[in-house]
Amino acid sequence: MRTMLNAKNALGALAMSLAFSLELSMSGAAFAQGADVYPSRPVTIIVPVAPGAATETEGRMWSAKLGEAIGQQFVMDFKPGGSGTLALTYTARQKPDGYTLAYVTSTYPILPLLFTDLPIDLIRGLEQVSLLSKRGGLLVVANNLPVRNVQEYIAYARADPGKINFATSGNGTILHLMGLWLQSATNTKVTFIHYKAAGAGYPDLMAGRVDMMPVTFSGGYPTMVKPGKVRAIGTATLQRSAAIPDMPTVAEQGVPDYEYPSWLGLVAPLKTPATVFARLNVEIAKIAKQPDMQQKLGDDTILIGSSPEQFRRVVETETGRWRRLVQENNIKFDDPN
């Protein structure tokens, strides 16, 4: 009897030991699996502009929405300077684990043209994660310029080459390149007036001291176009704006594909795992469809939430376009004229 009890006790102890070992094994596997789930800690998003810019406003919305959807904080870290090169060079040098990302704007494809001596290729040295949104733009003229549409502008500009003063936000900026694009596509010639920022040119535009300028919808329509201080001659978008649907696009008026490429995107260090992109892209696509995002950003913003491949094509297209225009016009970015 005692031998049988001892045998039963031994078998029971062995069973308990096996059960405990199995439980530990399963717990360990679960822990290991949990540790691999991205993200398991806060994510930093580098912002290449100073606080207060439009990029911050929209960036905070995307960061907050990603945090809500994924259950981890997405913390913005501002690193302004060098037209965004400081922030993006820093990002490119971080560990490619998905815990350091960066917002980029439509100046991103221009950087290789502006800065030819960077230690890192900021286009090929970063992974394009998603094109988050695009914003509408307008081509506007001073009220004293006798043109009311793009065709009249072309005729006026061709009749007197160089007479029209085209305001930009600086030599080599998006607005400068927009002017070069319009000039090339319409076989016209303008005189570029470079300001330190877009807003610095607005008073002269409204006063008629400069003749025309591309503006963002949010920056130009409510304060200048709607109150009649300047005149819009076309929307610089490929589709008509939902805010002013009766205004034809510049492309409709004879300048194919012409648009103000104002957008916000997300990039990551090279060799970031595809699983990170997959996780982010799923949530970004969902966020882009949320009505409250559209309401807060306004009708001039088109929410996209693209795939990495789609965003990569946008960057490649714009980089090629700007490079071609710069070469055709022999633009030197260190020359203020």
List the chain domain ranges. Answer: 43-135+261-327, 137-259
Tokens of 234: 């076309």
Is the predicted pLDDT of residue 335 greater than 50, yes or no?
Answer: no
Residues 190/195/196/198 CA torsion (nearest 10 deg) = -80
Helix (H, G, I), strand (E, B) or coil at 175: helix
Domain 137-259 annotated CATH 3.40.190.10: yes
* Cα 305 from Cα 134, distance rounded (Å): 10
| Among 270, 304, 264, residue whose Cα is nearest residue 286 | 304
Neighbours of 274 (CB within 10 A): 9
Residue listed under structure tokens 């691999």 = 36
Domains 43-135+261-327 and 137-259 share a fold: yes
Question: Where does the chain have alpha helices with state H?
Answer: 2-36, 54-70, 85-92, 111-114, 150-159, 174-186, 198-207, 217-220, 274-287, 291-297, 308-329
Helix (H) or strand (E) holding 126: strand 126-135
CATH number assigned to the domain with residue range 43-135+261-327, chosen from the 4 options 3.40.190.150, 3.40.50.300, 3.30.70.120, 3.30.530.20: 3.40.190.150
pLDDT tens per residue across span 249-279: 999 999 999 998 789 999 999 999 999 999 9
Q: Could you tell me how many residues make up the chain?
A: 337
Tokens of 285: 């696509």
| Among 286, 330, 332, residue whose Cα is nearest residue 130 | 286
Residue listed under structure tokens 């300001």 = 195
Is the predicted pLDDT of residue 28 greater than 80, yes or no?
Answer: no
pTM here? 0.82
Give the per-residue pLDDT at 334. 53
pLDDT tens per residue across span 284-308: 999 999 999 999 988 788 899 999 9
The larger pLDDT score, comparing residue 60 to residue 11, is at 60
Give the per-residue pLDDT at 36. 65
